[in-house]
Structure 1
Amino acid sequence: MVYPAEAQPRYTYLLWHIFNYPTAAGHEAAFAVTKNWGDSINSLYSVLLEVILVQAFHLLILAFVYVGNRSSSDSIHLATKVFYEDEPAAVLLRVLSRFTGGRVSQNPTSPSNRAIKRYEQTLLLVVIGVTVLFVPKIVPAFAIHGLLIGTSAPVDPLQVYVPESPWFTTGNVGLQIPLEALAQPRYLRAVGQADTASIDLQNKVTVTAPVTLQNLGKGEQILEIGYNYSLTAQDLGLQNFHGLQLNVQGSCHTEYGWLNNTESEGTSTDVYNIFGDDSINWKASPYYGYVPIAFSDFPKASGTFRINNTYAIMISSMQCDSFTIGTDPWYLTNTTGTPYNGDTVYNVLRGRPGLSCWQSDEWTYKDQSSSTWNLSSISGLNFPQSLRNVFYNLIGPPSIFSTATALGSIALASSTTAQLYTIDAASSSIYNDMQRLVLTTYISTANLLVDTTLYNKTNTYGLNSIVSSGDLDQVAQFVVSDQNITTVSLAYAIGIPIGTVLIYLIVKLLKIYVQPRAFDGVSRTPEAVVRINEAEKA
């Protein structure tokens, strides 16, 4: 899941509630707390893990004792000395330092033989060194890795709001304007992230290099550009439905045949019949501000119940000024130019082509495929119809169409370098524009559930939510993320304290039943330890 560009409001999520945390392998039972609570939990559980490791070391010593009862090795009996001393670490350091000195490495009872063989010394040094030096550093990292697993929390169902779309309800296109006003912040957040995206985020989408299908002469070309990306249930923040994946694939090509006529009286205007339909008239004109502006159209008659749908993207870049010569079909300029304040200004030619596009939105789950509308029909998925309605409402039409419609004058990459009445035509291209549109669409789609909690509910323009109060729990099967949230693994939260108590009790019981083989009658110290003590005093 791509994090939203703004902090997640505290009132939109639930703390101390058990939920399914989505992972690449499925989901894990967890609960969410504040970051401060997470730090405290991590500190506490780090101590518990240290206790577990200390007790595990005691178990190892008990194993040495048990084996020592059947062995004559002094290194085994050294373990017994360590285990039954009040300060085993001090004993180890004292004895090991004597070993490294060389003199007291002789067995006091047999000076010609080593009390502890060299490989046994090495093994003890390695074990003790690793334990003393590295365990304090490893334990906190281990606790964070296994115990604190993320920064997500379950959404508060009462904060979910999905404004009705004309594509979902009555087909009343009059709802489109207030819907776009409500949705625009969502796309502004997405395009902001797209413009500052890391390489990893950019690699989430693929936009193929333009292919020239036909060269029409004078710089005019029929180009084709493809794109694709995928989103898993985890990417969408869904708590359940592991294995569900949305695969988006599309393609666009420049279309010159839609241009109907050009008008030169008054403000210059190019008139297009999109998809060759006389009833769908669209006009390109400098009236829009002499900067490139994108418009999109989606023919409702194409049927949004299907996996494949068509849409169009139009550009109004005609007669835009440029200080560079453009060669791309959308930004093709004249090559003569006119002088202006010591520079040469070139104009984008009229009659720029539209983009005729198709997009496939295919959901897959265990060798089954479906359109967005038929998500609830996938066998074995148990996808709630109310949640299906949310997806269909938000990405029923091709999602890139919604992106271009909502962003308008800032949808294209060329708009980021455009100044008043002036663009850089040489660096502008359909490919760059599509890259920005596709990446923005990917981000807005990944965040579509999270964004249902971020609408401005103080002014919804009278648009009701399509989610009824009775369906809120079914729809709210997703998580939101924020750096002020800490996700705690339920299994670790329960297992570590239980494990600490169990291993502590096991060690205590074994110490009762596993005793050294032989003692001197006075100090109840193992005979081998007596020899080692004598060696230390020598």
Structure 2
Amino acid sequence: MPVVPDVLSLIAPSSDYNVLKRFTMPTHDGPKAAIALTFESSKVLQSLYTLMLKMIVIQIWYLIVLVGISLSAKKHRSHNISIANVIIWNAQAAPLDIVKLMFGYIAHISLYALMWAILAALAWAASIALSLLVSPDLIIGQAAPVSGNAIYVPEYSPITNTSSYSLRVNEISTPANLRAIGAADNLTTNANVNVGKPSTSIDAFQESVYQLDYSYSLTDIDFGLQNASGLLLTVNGSCFTDYTWYNGTDDSPDIAKDVYLIFGSSNMSNVSTSDGGPPIATFLLNPAPPSAPFGSNISYAIVVSSFARKSFTPGLDPWYATVALNGDPLGAGYIVARGVPPLNCWQTDVWSYNNVSKSIDDLEQLGALPHSLVLVFQHFLSVPRIINLGQSLGTTALKSATGSQGRYFDAQTSNLHDDLQRLVLGAYEATKNTLQETTKFSRQYQDITNLVLDSNGNMLPGTDAFVIYTGNAAALSIPMLIAVPIIAVLLLGLNFLLTTSLPCYALPWGYVDALRAAVIYSALDTEETNDQWDRTTPTPIFKADPKAEGVVYEARVRPKYDRKNRTLSWHDPKHDTPA
């Protein structure tokens, strides 16, 4: 049946996360107890709770009216105040009507009418404001607890870590990097990411050295961690153009090649015309281990292959500086010069929790995360995330390459600042999605083991202590879910008890029910010597003589409007009509 899939989609819309399950939602106001629902279901529930919030305000308003009118009606009042009490009591369900009607008495009972007009206006405004201000506190985010069965972290196995194995691990990791750079391209600015403008200086070889600093930070909320409130990752890095690494050329008859000695003579890197296509960057990690685990810089290099790329416009940037080109068949007048300086970079990642800071190697010592999640973060973030991102993206890593056509690109608009900014934003997004992406890795290779499973194939404790951010689910505050109905029912019950006389007990302020329109009408529609109205309740009933069978008693009074004088009154025709 077509209905069955629709129902199942409301109960279990995705295998990546769970709904109808209690969890801890990380928020800027601290962790909150929540339960996940599908987003469609949450909208229905939010509408219901909006109505309950309005009902809470109106019940409070009823209590205010009860107190005010019972005190006022008990004393000797003027005619105008007395009739105002009747109006207020009968129109209390519509505060705006009271506001409108009280303006008719402003000239006669100014303070009294104005007081009730203001109170009624506040009640109406409060019913709107409370639903607008409090309802968002019901849905505290679009997230749901991750399903443990969906978590898969492809492990770099020291036993089977052959070239083929590593390539397959990189293959299933590439989509995550593509999603990260795609998200980065949609970001114009981000408050958590900063890539400074280049600063220049002159080195010993009279070359202009460009330096760019970058930084970003992520919190437990960004990672989606349920039980690590206050955890903070701060990343700081810096890059500068290093002309000292350029080691000349090594051309062959068909290929022009530039040679670089990165981090010493034993680490050689080449770029050549055989690289072809758009500008491409190679990322190299400094093989020398840091001297100290914490506070030390992890060094890496970015070597860009851009020389011999052609442009129709001149370029001045260190990575894309051009010289004149003659005789190009497509009319390009410029070509990138040789000796493009690589970037010499360092990066420091500091994890902080409860005023204690550690490196990624000592992350578990902070006590913020279970061992399983420490393994996940160490697996993906032990080296600067920008390195894996850039290597995985290949020819699509640099912004200058996104608009290129083969070996042709626009040198004038290309620059290393924009390239590095794109990579840093991508690294930020990839770092933020470290846990989210564990539900998206392909499981196509059976020999690539799951890092978060023990030797028995069971998930390590605490692995699922994070949430999945998704537009298809909503996290609802459990305290709000419980408190709003309880308050609504309590106020409703309190109003019922305070306004309903029981057979065994008469309310001291029960006289206010005499202000009801039905009671007043029954007092008008009667004869002094023969009152046949039962007024023991706020809903009077006319009781005819049981002996007068077949007789229909018409009302003794009827509403009347004198159009000539424009006056309202009640008319008494004084007659009975036999059936």
Q: TM-score, normalised by structure 1?
A: 0.84
Determine the structure 2 residue equivalent to 1:122: 114
Residues 1:94 and 1:246: Cα distance change in structure 2 (over 3 Å): closer
Residues 1:433 and 1:60: Cα distance change in structure 2 (over 3 Å): same
Report if the CA contact (8 A) 1:251-1:357 is conserved: yes
Determine the structure 2 residue equivalent to 1:225: 212
Q: Does the residue aligned with 1:437 lie in a helix, a strand or coil?
A: helix
Determine the structure 1 residue equivalent to 2:312: 323
Determine the structure 2 residue equivalent to 1:482: 470
Determine the structure 2 residue equivalent to 1:111: none
Q: Does the residue aligned with 2:33 lie in a helix, a strand or coil?
A: strand
**2:268 & 2:151 partners in 1: Cα distance?**
37
Report deviation, 1:471: 4.1
What is the aligned-residue identity percentage?
31
Q: Does the residue aligned with 2:169 lie in a helix, a strand or coil?
A: helix
Q: Does the residue aligned with 2:263 lie in a helix, a strand or coil?
A: helix
Give a deviation string over 1:374-421, Cα, whole Å, max 9, x none. Answer: 11102xx34212111100101110111111111121111101121111
Determine the structure 2 residue equivalent to 1:162: 153
> Is 1:181 aligned to residue 171 of structure 2?
yes
Determine the structure 2 residue equivalent to 1:51: 55
**2:325 & 2:36 partners in 1: Cα distance?**
62
**2:326 & 2:95 partners in 1: Cα distance?**
92
Report deviation, 1:462: 2.7
> Is 1:410 aligned to residue 360 of structure 2?
no
**1:94 & 1:221 partners in 2: Cα distance?**
78
Residues 1:389 and 1:78: Cα distance change in structure 2 (over 3 Å): farther
Report if the CA contact (8 A) 2:99-2:121 is conserved: no
Larger Rg: 2
Determine the structure 1 residue equivalent to 2:269: 282
**2:410 & 2:99 partners in 1: Cα distance?**
78
Report deviation, 1:51: 2.1
Q: Name which of structure 1's ranges 324-333 and 183-192 shifts more when overlaid on structure 2.
A: 324-333
Determine the structure 2 residue equivalent to 1:467: 452
RMSD of the TM alignment (CA)? 3.2
Superposition map of 1:168-317 within 5 A: 172=161, 174=163, 175-199=165-189, 201=190, 203-214=191-202, 220-265=207-252, 266-278=254-266, 280-302=267-289, 305-307=293-295, 308-317=297-306
Q: Name which of structure 1's ranges 445-454 and 60-69 shifts more when overlaid on structure 2.
A: 60-69
Report if the CA contact (8 A) 1:65-1:516 is conserved: no
Determine the structure 2 residue equivalent to 1:421: 407
Report deviation, 1:356: 1.1
Report deviation, 1:347: 1.4
Determine the structure 2 residue equivalent to 1:60: 64
Amino acid of the residue matched to residue 375 of structure 1?
A: L
> Is 1:516 aligned to residue 509 of structure 2?
yes
Residues 1:268 and 1:91: Cα distance change in structure 2 (over 3 Å): closer
> Is 1:366 aligned to residue 354 of structure 2?
yes
Report deviation, 1:289: 1.6
Residues 1:213 and 1:91: Cα distance change in structure 2 (over 3 Å): closer
Q: Name which of structure 1's ranges 506-515 and 483-492 shifts more when overlaid on structure 2.
A: 506-515
Picking from 428, 431, 451, the partner of 2:437 is 451
Determine the structure 1 residue equivalent to 2:137: 146
Amino acid of the residue matched to residue 18 of structure 2?
A: L
Q: TM-score, normalised by structure 2?
A: 0.78
Amino acid of the residue matched to residue 55 of structure 1?
A: Q
**1:408 & 1:184 partners in 2: Cα distance?**
10
Give a deviation string over 1:193-229, Cα, whole Å, max 9, x none. Answer: 1112244x3x4311111111216789x4221110001
| Higher share in helix | 1
Superposition map of 1:367-382 within 5 A: 367-378=355-366, 381-382=367-368
Report if the CA contact (8 A) 2:224-2:469 is conserved: no
**2:173 & 2:155 partners in 1: Cα distance?**
11
**1:193 & 1:92 partners in 2: Cα distance?**
49
**2:401 & 2:424 partners in 1: Cα distance?**
16
Report deviation, 1:93: 4.0
Residues 1:518 and 1:495: Cα distance change in structure 2 (over 3 Å): closer
Report if the CA contact (8 A) 1:55-1:504 is conserved: yes
Report deviation, 1:63: 2.5
Amino acid of the residue matched to residue 158 of structure 1?
A: N
> Is 1:347 aligned to residue 339 of structure 2?
no
**2:468 & 2:149 partners in 1: Cα distance?**
14
Residues 1:170 and 1:386: Cα distance change in structure 2 (over 3 Å): farther
The total of aligned residue pairs comes to: 500
Gaps of 5+ in 2: 1-11, 525-566, 571-579
Give a deviation string over 1:247-289, Cα, whole Å, max 9, x none. Answer: 00000111122223412213111222211141x2221012122
Report if the CA contact (8 A) 1:373-1:389 is conserved: no
Determine the structure 2 residue equivalent to 1:30: 34
**2:63 & 2:87 partners in 1: Cα distance?**
13
Work out which structure has the larger RCO, using CA pairs closer than 8 Å and 6 or more positions apart in sequence: 1
> Is 1:338 aligned to residue 334 of structure 2?
no
Report deviation, 1:146: 2.0
Picking from 491, 494, 510, the partner of 2:479 is 491
**1:442 & 1:406 partners in 2: Cα distance?**
15
Gaps of 5+ in 1: 1-7, 107-113
Residues 1:128 and 1:419: Cα distance change in structure 2 (over 3 Å): same
> Is 1:13 aligned to residue 13 of structure 2?
no
**2:466 & 2:287 partners in 1: Cα distance?**
30
Determine the structure 2 residue equivalent to 1:110: none
Residues 1:417 and 1:92: Cα distance change in structure 2 (over 3 Å): closer
Give a deviation string over 1:21-73, Cα, whole Å, max 9, x none. Answer: 11012111111111221122122222222222221111111331454377656
Q: Does the residue aligned with 1:222 lie in a helix, a strand or coil?
A: strand
Give a deviation string over 1:434-466, Cα, whole Å, max 9, x none. Answer: 110000111111111101101112x13732111
Amino acid of the residue matched to residue 454 of structure 1?
A: K
**2:159 & 2:248 partners in 1: Cα distance?**
34
Q: Does the residue aligned with 1:491 lie in a helix, a strand or coil?
A: helix
Amino acid of the residue matched to residue 151 of structure 2?
A: V
